Amino acid sequence: MDRMKTFGIYALCIILFFIFSNVMIDIAVKAMYNPIDITIERREDLLLDVHDAKATYVNGYVEGYVRNIR
């Protein structure tokens, strides 16, 4: 019975470490992104709406939409 209790404690420790590491990785990745200064070129036939734009030293992302008005 003691062996099963020890196995259960080890399994619980591994599961808690997995959850903790995933939460910390998510926080670290989100903290690395910085806002981008955006210059939007206005045109008569194009509607551009940018909701969010962030970047790191390696990559970045832009959320929004582009619509052709013609």
In percent, how much of the chain has pLDDT > 70? 100
Quote the CA–CA distance of 39 and 32 in Å, as a whole number: 22
Is 90 exceeded by the pLDDT of residue 62? no
List, for residues 22-51, the tens digit of each pLDDT value: 999 999 988 888 888 877 778 888 888 888
Helix (H) or strand (E) holding 7: helix 2-32
* Cα 44 to Cα 24: distance, rounded to the nearest angstrom: 45
pLDDT for residue 70 is more than 80: no
Could you identify the residue written with the tokens 């990559």?
A: 59
Joined together, the tokens standing for residue 38 give 């955006």
Give whole-number Cα distances, 45 to 15, 25, 31, 40, in Å.
54, 42, 37, 14
